[in-house]
Amino acid sequence: MSENLKTIRELADEFNVSKQAVRKRLTDEFRANYVETVHSNGVKTLVVTVTGYMLLKQHFSGGNSDVKVASNVGGNDGNLDVASDSKKNDDEVSVLKILEQQLAVKDQQLENKDLQISQMQNLLDQQQRLALQDKKMLEDYKAKIQNLEALAMTPHDSEKELSPKNKPEQETSTVERQHKTKKWWHFGR
């Protein structure tokens, strides 16, 4: 498939084990973390990520080398022991590199989250300042409205209405009202 993602068949061929042995190692937890489903040519294929590949490699090569070391310790004067140790060290180094890469990614994600949190805090501060300004403006408007209402209710306006000059006008207005209430059909009688 690709260098980074390997299928179960490719892993079985590489480790010289059966596909069932590889599938046996793919537990639910392992699948959740290290296995992906890829669509190629309309077929769903399970592939193992690089980290999962390294863990499987460590398991299959580590398990087989331990058996060989145990069976050949006395016959080869420990030469196989040194070879298996160097292979384990190489595997451990590669696993450490993968873990360091993962840590670097996590650190970057944490930095992004810290930046997002600080931006959200700034936005919250701005919102609170605007809310306080709105509240102050509302209080100012209420005070202005109360002042205008107080001006509208001044006593000098009510005195002008009760002056004697306005009373005869009211009398003439009632006479005019009487003439206006007559209808046109009453004139024919």
Over the stretch 132-180, which tens digit does the pLDDT of each residue have? 999 999 999 999 999 998 888 876 555 555 555 555 555 555 556 655 6
Domains: count for the chain:
1
CA torsion sign for 58, 87, 20, 49 is positive
The answer to whether residue 179 sits within a structural domain is no
pLDDT for 182: 59
φ, ψ for residue 2 (rounded to 5)?
-140, 170
Over the stretch 25-64, which tens digit does the pLDDT of each residue have? 888 888 888 888 888 788 888 888 888 888 888 888 875 4
| Residues 53 and 14: beta-carbon distance below 8 Å | no
Q: What whole-number distance in Å separates Cα of residue 167 and Cα of residue 170?
A: 5
φ, ψ for residue 156 (rounded to 5)?
-70, -25
Cα dist from 123 to 114, 119, 126, whole Å: 14, 6, 5
DSSP secondary structure of 100-125 = HHHHHHHHHHHHHHHHHHHHHHHHHH
Q: Is the pLDDT of residue 127 over 80?
A: yes
Three-state secondary-structure class, residue 37: strand
The answer to whether residue 188 sits within a structural domain is no
Closest CA to 51 of 6, 95, 1: 95
The answer to whether residue 183 sits within a structural domain is no
pLDDT for 188: 60
Domain that holds residue 47: 6-147
The answer to whether residue 184 sits within a structural domain is no
User: What does the mean pLDDT of the chain come to?
Assistant: 77
The answer to whether residue 85 sits within a structural domain is yes
Q: Which residues of 25-51 are buried (b: 16+ CB within 10 A; e: fewer)?
A: bbeeeeeeebbeeeeeeeeeeebbbee
The answer to whether residue 120 sits within a structural domain is yes
The answer to whether residue 25 sits within a structural domain is yes
Going by pLDDT thresholds of 50, 70 and 90, the confidence category of residue 81 is low
The answer to whether residue 181 sits within a structural domain is no
pLDDT for 68: 39
